[in-house]
């Protein structure tokens, strides 16, 4: 199961130990670590990224579920978590991009208080014991949530309702007196702009979901090939 994982620590040193444990679990095959970042919450509540994984199939954190969640953890004062990540754009940092519920963000934020640190990661894990055991040994508090798929149903219903309103406004505009046409046309233009913006955002989300899925497939293929190579090498050593 693909999950968002956040482990909160009291010190930066422990956070890096937690990150290293995740990398070890990934190497052992206990989990698949798609992407990670070590973050710190400053005295003013701003979240900054201390370290993240090297750009791979998932690319940078910009616009990813991980990047959006990090931005949300900063709250109103922490949307910009570093110019290098490009998370100053409000459109990037929202729950639909993070693919987790608002209650998850609230729970983590309560624990990730100022002057604390966390490892934020997108992982695949079949059971929770390996991660929990390593993180608890390092003094971390673990939060996890299954990643939701892109949900278009509610947006589609809302957009359909807006399109119905638009059709009614256009009908009224066609029959209106000259002194009313200008005001109705302004409403038509405003509503049409909102509809187009929603449709474009939905399109971008679907495309991002497709790209994430392809990237994860490539990561899994790479890991499978590496395991196969190691197994073959071990077999050669045994034969010798």
d(CA 172, CA 194): 19
Domain boundary, last residue among 124, 148, 172: 148
Is the same domain home to 12 and 99? yes
* Percent of the chain residues topping a pLDDT of 90: 22
Is the same domain home to 168 and 139? no
Is the same domain home to 40 and 79? yes
Q: What would the mean pLDDT of 76-102 be, rounded to a whole number?
A: 52
How many other β-carbons are positioned within 10 Å of the β-carbon of residue 193? Answer: 10
pLDDT at 199: 83
Q: What's the number of domains the chain is made of?
A: 2
Whether the full predicted model's pTM is greater than 0.75, yes or no, is no
Is the same domain home to 19 and 117? yes
Is the same domain home to 158 and 112? no
pLDDT-derived band at 239 (thresholds 50, 70, 90) equals low
Please tell me whether residue 100 adopts helix, strand or coil conformation: coil
pLDDT higher than threshold 80 for residue 54:
no
Is the same domain home to 159 and 138? no
Is the same domain home to 120 and 156? no
pLDDT higher than threshold 90 for residue 12:
yes
Domain around 213 = 150-240
pLDDT higher than threshold 90 for residue 17:
yes
Is the same domain home to 121 and 166? no
Tokens encoding 17: 């130990």
Is the same domain home to 113 and 57? yes
pLDDT at 59: 46
Is the same domain home to 134 and 102? yes
Is the same domain home to 141 and 216? no
Q: Report in angstroms the alpha-carbon separations of 80 from 74, 121, 150, 234.
A: 8, 19, 24, 47
Is the same domain home to 144 and 157? no
pLDDT at 206: 74
pLDDT higher than threshold 70 for residue 87:
no
pLDDT higher than threshold 80 for residue 23:
yes
């Amino acid at each position: 199961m693909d999950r968002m994982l956040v482990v909160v620590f009291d010190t930066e040193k422990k956070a890096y130990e937690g990150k290293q444990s995740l990398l070890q679990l990934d190497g052992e095959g206990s989990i698949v670590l798609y992407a990670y970042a070590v973050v710190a919450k400053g005295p003013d509540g701003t979240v900054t990224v201390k370290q993240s994984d090297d750009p791979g199939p998932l690319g940078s954190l910009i616009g990813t579920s991980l990047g959006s969640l990090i931005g949300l953890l900063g709250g109103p004062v922490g949307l910009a978590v570093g110019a290098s990540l490009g998370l100053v754009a409000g459109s990037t940092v929202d729950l639909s991009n993070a693919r987790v519920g608002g209650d998850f963000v609230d729970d983590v934020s309560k624990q990730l208080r100022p002057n604390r640190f966390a490892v934020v990661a997108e992982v695949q894990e079949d059971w929770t014991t390996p991660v929990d055991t390593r993180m608890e040994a390092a003094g971390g508090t673990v939060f996890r949530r299954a990643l939701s798929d892109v949900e278009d149903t509610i947006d589609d219903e809302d957009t359909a309702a807006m399109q119905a309103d638009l059709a009614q406004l256009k009908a009224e505009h066609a029959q209106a007196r000259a002194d009313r046409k200008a005001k109705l046309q302004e409403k038509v233009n405003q509503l049409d702009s909102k509809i187009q913006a929603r449709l474009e955002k939905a399109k971008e989300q679907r495309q991002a979901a497709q790209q994430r899925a392809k990237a994860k497939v490539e990561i899994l293929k790479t890991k499978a090939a590496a395991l196969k190579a190691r197994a073959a090498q071990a077999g050669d050593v045994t034969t010798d």
